[in-house]
C-alpha cells in the first residue's frame, strides 16, 4: 500500500501505481452525494484527490461513516487508485474510512471561498483561512524565498549567525522599541540585528547572514507596515564601496527571478496568481542617486519632494513605474540617501556629509531592502552620534566594537513579507504574515 505520503506524491506516481492500494489523509474539502454514490474530495497542502464511496461496494459501516462526513472533517481513506471514468485524472475507489475529527460547530469561514471574506475576519480565523490552497500558497512561496536566501548567501561564502532579540538599547535611537522587563531592569525587543551583524564582521567572520524576527513599535496603519516581521539580513566585510553590497543584494534577487521559472511548484503558484516572474535587465538593475530621483519625479510626474527628504509611498510607486518603462526592470536601487533620514552608523560622503552611502531597493514600486556602507572609523562614529543628538553613553558597548580594528563593511536588511507580497501582487503585507502583529492585533 502507498501510504503516509502527500496527495501530490500519489498523483505523480499514479501511472505506475494504478490499481494499487493507497491511503489519503487530509481534510474533507467538498462532498457530492448522488444517492448511490458519494464523492468526497480530500485536500492536503499539496493538492486534491477525489474518493468515491459506492453503496453496495463498501461495507455498510464505512458507508454510514461516509454519510456522516461534513466539510473540514479530518479523515484517512484507504482504497484503490484508478483512472476516473468520467473525467481526466485519477481517483480513489474507497474501501475503508477513518474519521479523525469532526467540526464541533458550523464553520465561521468557508475554506474554499475564504478570500471573499474581509481580511479582518480571515485573520481572526487564520487557521481556517490558511487551509484555502491559494492562501497557503503564499506561505509556500515565503518559505521558498527564505530557503533561496540561505542557499544563495551560503554559496557566496557567508556564515549564518543567530543574534539576540532581547537587547539593551534600540538600534536607531531608542525610540520606537518595545520594552520588556528583564529581571531587575528594562530591556527591549530588537529593532534589527544591525549591531550584532557588524559585531560578527568585526569578530572575523567577514560575511554573515541571518533570518530572524524584528520588532518595531511604530503605530502605523498602512498596508505595508507590521510591528513584527522577518528580516533577511546580510553584512559584508572588506568592501570597496556600497556598490559591493548592492551587487550581493541583486545577486539574490536574480536567483529568485531565475529559480522561480525553473521550479515547477513556484512557477505554478505565480501563474495561479497571474504574476510574471521578476524582471532584471542583463546589465543589472538601475542605480539612481536620490537627488536624480527627485528630478525624475518632478519632471516626469509633477511630484515634488523637497531635497533631503525621504521618498513617500507614492514616490516609490512612480519610480517603480519609471524603472519598468525605461529599463524594463522590476528592481531599482535608489542611492546616496540624505543623512537626515539615515541612522547614525551610515557612512557619510566625505565631500558632501549631508548625503550618505545608503540605498534602498524598490521592487515593483515598494521598498523591500534598506542598506549601505557603515561607518567603521571610531572617531567618525562618535561624531555621527553627536550630530544626531544621541548620547555616547547609550551606545558605548557598540562603539567598543570599533576600538580594536574594524574593516570597511556594509550590509542590508530585506523584508521577507514585503518580498513575498511583491512577488505575488498581494494588496496588504498582512496577507504575507501567517499571524500578523499590528496596533490592533495580538491574537491569535
| Domain at 132, CATH number | 3.30.930.10
- Residue 117 is assigned to a structural domain of this protein: no
In Å, the largest CA–CA distance within the chain is 88
89/147 same-domain check: no
Our count of domains for the chain comes to 2
- Residue 222 is assigned to a structural domain of this protein: yes
Query: At what angle are helices 264-272 and 416-424 packed, to 10 degrees?
Result: 70
Backbone torsions φ then ψ of 305, nearest 5 degrees: -115, 125
49/150 same-domain check: no
| Domain at 15, CATH number | 2.40.50.140
Domain encompassing residue 284: 128-432
Q: How confident is the model at residue 87, as a pLDDT? A: 84
Q: Tens of pLDDT along the chain (444 residues)? A: 776 789 999 999 888 889 999 999 999 999 999 989 999 999 999 999 999 999 999 999 999 999 999 999 999 999 999 999 988 899 999 999 999 999 999 999 999 999 999 999 999 999 999 999 999 999 999 999 999 999 999 999 999 999 999 998 776 655 689 999 999 999 999 999 999 999 999 999 999 999 999 999 999 889 999 999 999 999 999 999 999 999 999 999 999 999 999 999 999 999 999 999 999 999 999 999 999 999 999 999 999 999 999 999 999 999 999 999 999 999 999 999 999 999 999 999 999 999 999 999 999 999 999 999 999 999 999 999 999 999 999 899 999 999 999 999 999 999 999 999 999 999 999 999 999 999 999 999
**Boundary of a domain, candidates 60, 83, 101:** 101
Look at residues 239, 254, 166 and name the one whose alpha carbon lies nearest to residue 207.
239
- Residue 368 is assigned to a structural domain of this protein: yes
50/178 same-domain check: no
List CB contacts of 42: < 8 A, sequence separation 6 or more: 7, 24, 25, 26, 27, 28, 29, 48, 49, 50, 51, 75, 77
78/201 same-domain check: no
Look at residues 277, 281, 238, 214 and name the one whose alpha carbon lies nearest to residue 408.
238
- Residue 122 is assigned to a structural domain of this protein: no
- Residue 229 is assigned to a structural domain of this protein: yes
15/137 same-domain check: no
Q: How confident is the model at residue 14, as a pLDDT? A: 85
- Residue 328 is assigned to a structural domain of this protein: yes
- Residue 69 is assigned to a structural domain of this protein: yes
163/285 same-domain check: yes
182/282 same-domain check: yes
141/95 same-domain check: no
Entry pTM: 0.95
19/159 same-domain check: no
- Residue 324 is assigned to a structural domain of this protein: yes
Amino acid at each position: 500500500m502507498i501510504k503516509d505520503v502527500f496527495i501530490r506524491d500519489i498523483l505523480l506516481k499514479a501511472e505506475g501505481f494504478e490499481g494499487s492500494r493507497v491511503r489519503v489523509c487530509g481534510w474533507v474539502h467538498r462532498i457530492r452525494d448522488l444517492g448511490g454514490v458519494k464523492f468526497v474530495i480530500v485536500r492536503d497542502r499539496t493538492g486534491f484527490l477525489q474518493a468515491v464511496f459506492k453503496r453496495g461496494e463498501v461495507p455498510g459501516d464505512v458507508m454510514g461513516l461516509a454519510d456522516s462526513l461534513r466539510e473540514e472533517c479530518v479523515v484517512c481513506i484507504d482504497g484503490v487508485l484508478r483512472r476516473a471514468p468520467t473525467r481526466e485524472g485519477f481517483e480513489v475507489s474507497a474501501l475503508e474510512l477513518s474519521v479523525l475529527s469532526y467540526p464541533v460547530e458550523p464553520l465561521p469561514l468557508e475554506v474554499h471561498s475564504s478570500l471573499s471574506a474581509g481580511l479582518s475576519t480571515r485573520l481572526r480565523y487564520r487557521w481556517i483561512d490558511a487551509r484555502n490552497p491559494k492562501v497557503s500558497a503564499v506561505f509556500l512561496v515565503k518559505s521558498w524565498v527564505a530557503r533561496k536566501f540561505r542557499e544563495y548567501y551560503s554559496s557566496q561564502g557567508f556564515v549564518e549567525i543567530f543574534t539576540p532579540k532581547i537587547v539593551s538599547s534600540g538600534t536607531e535611537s531608542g525610540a520606537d522599541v518595545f520594552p520588556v522587563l528583564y529581571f531587575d531592569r528594562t530591556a527591549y525587543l530588537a529593532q534589527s540585528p544591525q549591531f550584532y551583524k557588524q559585531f560578527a564582521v568585526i569578530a572575523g567572520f567577514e560575511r554573515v547572514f541571518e533570518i530572524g524576527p524584528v520588532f518595531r513599535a511604530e503605530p502605523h496603519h498602512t498596508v505595508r507596515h507590521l510591528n513584527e516581521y522577518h528580516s533577511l539580513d546580510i553584512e559584508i566585510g572588506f568592501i570597496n564601496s556600497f556598490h559591493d553590497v548592492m551587487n550581493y543584494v541583486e545577486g539574490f534577487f536574480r536567483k529568485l527571478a531565475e529559480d522561480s521559472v525553473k521550479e515547477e511548484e513556484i512557477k505554478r503558484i505565480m501563474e495561479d496568481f497571474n504574476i510574471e516572474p521578476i524582471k532584471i535587465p542583463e546589465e543589472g538593475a538601475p542605480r539612481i542617486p536620490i537627488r536624480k530621483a527627485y528630478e525624475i519625479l518632478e519632471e516626469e510626474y509633477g511630484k515634488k519632494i523637497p531635497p533631503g527628504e525621504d521618498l513617500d509611498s507614492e514616490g516609490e510607486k512612480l519610480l517603480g513605474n519609471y524603472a519598468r518603462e525605461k529599463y524594463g526592470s522590476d528592481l531599482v536601487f535608489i542611492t546616496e540617501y540624505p543623512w537626515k533620514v539615515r541612522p547614525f552608523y551610515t557612512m557619510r560622503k566625505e565631500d558632501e556629509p549631508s548625503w550618505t552611502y545608503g540605498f534602498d531597493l524598490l521592487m515593483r514600486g515598494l521598498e523591500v531592502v534598506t542598506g549601505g556602507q557603515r561607518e567603521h572609523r571610531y572617531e567618525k562614529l562618535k561624531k555621527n552620534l553627536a550630530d544626531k543628538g544621541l548620547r555616547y553613553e547609550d551606545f558605548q558597548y557598540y562603539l567598543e566594537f570599533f576600538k580594536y580594528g574594524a574593516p570597511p563593511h556594509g550590509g542590508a536588511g530585506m523584508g521577507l513579507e514585503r518580498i513575498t507580497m511583491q512577488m505575488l501582487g498581494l494588496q496588504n503585507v498582512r496577507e504575507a504574515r501567517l499571524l500578523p502583529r499590528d496596533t490592533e492585533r495580538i491574537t491569535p
